[in-house]
C-alpha cells in the first residue's frame, strides 16, 4: 500500500467502516471551550485559522453545493469578519479555509459549512476539520475526523517528525472536554503541501 492509499484508508472508507460512533457536526462546538483550555492550561494560542477538508464529487449538484457554502460564508463575512477561501491540495482534496481572530466565529463557520454539506446529502464526503494552535513557535492541531466521529491531536515538527509527547499531553488535558479518538492508529498526520505550512496549505 502506497502513501496515498494509506492516507485514503486512514481518513476514508476504512476509518468509516471501523468507526465506533457516528460523526455529529455538533461535536465541533466542543472546540469553543477547548480554545480556552489550550491557552489557559497549555499556553497554546489560536493561529486564527481553521479549515474543513472534504473529498469532491464530479457532479453539477456537488459543485453547486460548494458554491452555496461559499456564497453564504461570503454573505456572513461582513457580520462576522470571517474571511474564507476554497482551495484544492496536492492530494486532490478540497478545503474551506476560514480566518478570524475570534475562535467562536471559526467554530460557528466550520459547523455551518459541515452542516450544509450534510443537509445537501454530502456528509459522507467530509474528511476532517482542523483547528490550529501555536506556542513558542511550535504548532499543534486538533483534528476532528468525520469518519471516526472523534478528535485527535497532531503536533508536527520539522522534517516530518511528530512531537508525540505533546500529542499525549494534549490528549490527557482535553480528553473529556473533547471526544478524543482512543485508537492512536487513527491519529493520522496531516502534513502540509509546503514546508512550514499548515495542513490546509
Lowest average pLDDT, out of 67-71, 75-79, 109-113, 148-152, goes to 75-79
Q: Cell triple for residue 176?
A: 473529556
Confidence tier at 19 by pLDDT (50, 70, 90): very low
Contact 125, 116 (CB under 8 A): no
Q: Cell triple for residue 109?
A: 463557520
What digits encode the pLDDT tens for the residues 127-142? 999 999 999 999 999 9
What digits encode the pLDDT tens for the residues 164-201? 999 999 999 999 999 999 999 999 999 988 888 999 98
Contact 73, 109 (CB under 8 A): yes
The 8-class DSSP code of residue 194 comes to S
Residue 19 neighbours by CB distance under 10 Å: 16
What digits encode the pLDDT tens for the residues 25-78? 889 999 999 999 999 999 999 999 999 999 999 999 999 999 999 998 998 788
The CA–CA distances, whole Å, from 81 to 29, 38, 84 equal: 19, 23, 10
Could you tell me the pTM of the whole model? Answer: 0.88
Radius of gyration, CA atoms only, the chain: 16
Residue 78 has what pLDDT?
81
Contact 99, 49 (CB under 8 A): yes
Residue 3 neighbours by CB distance under 10 Å: 8
- Polymer length of the chain: 201
Complete DSSP assignment for 54-106:
E---SSHHHHHHHHHHHHHHHHHHHHH--EEEEEE-TTS-EEEEEE-S-HHHH
pLDDT of 109 above 90: yes
Residue 25 has what pLDDT?
80
What is the CATH topology of the domain spanning 3-186?
Alpha-Beta Plaits (3.30.70)
Amino acid at each position: 500500500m502506497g502513501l496515498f492509499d494509506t492516507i485514503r484508508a486512514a481518513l476514508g472508507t476504512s476509518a468509516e467502516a471501523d468507526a465506533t460512533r457516528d460523526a455529529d457536526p455538533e461535536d465541533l462546538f466542543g472546540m469553543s471551550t477547548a480554545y480556552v483550555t489550550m491557552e489557559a492550561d497549555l499556553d497554546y494560542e489560536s493561529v486564527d485559522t481553521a479549515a474543513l477538508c472534504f473529498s469532491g464529487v464530479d457532479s453539477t449538484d456537488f459543485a453547486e453545493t460548494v458554491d452555496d457554502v461559499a456564497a453564504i460564508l461570503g454573505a456572513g463575512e461582513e457580520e462576522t469578519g470571517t474571511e474564507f477561501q476554497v482551495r484544492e491540495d496536492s492530494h486532490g482534496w478540497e478545503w474551506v479555509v476560514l480566518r478570524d481572530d475570534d475562535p467562536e466565529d471559526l467554530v460557528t463557520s466550520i459547523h455551518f459549512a459541515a452542516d450544509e454539506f450534510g443537509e445537501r446529502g454530502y456528509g459522507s464526503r467530509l474528511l476532517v476539520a482542523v483547528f490550529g494552535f501555536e506556542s513558542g513557535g511550535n504548532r499543534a492541531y486538533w483534528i476532528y475526523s468525520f469518519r471516526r466521529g472523534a478528535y485527535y491531536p497532531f503536533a508536527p515538527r520539522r522534517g516530518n517528525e511528530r512531537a508525540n509527547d505533546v500529542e499525549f499531553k494534549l490528549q490527557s488535558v482535553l480528553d473529556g472536554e473533547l471526544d478524543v479518538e482512543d485508537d492512536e492508529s487513527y491519529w493520522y498526520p496531516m502534513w502540509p503541501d509546503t514546508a512550514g505550512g499548515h495542513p490546509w496549505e
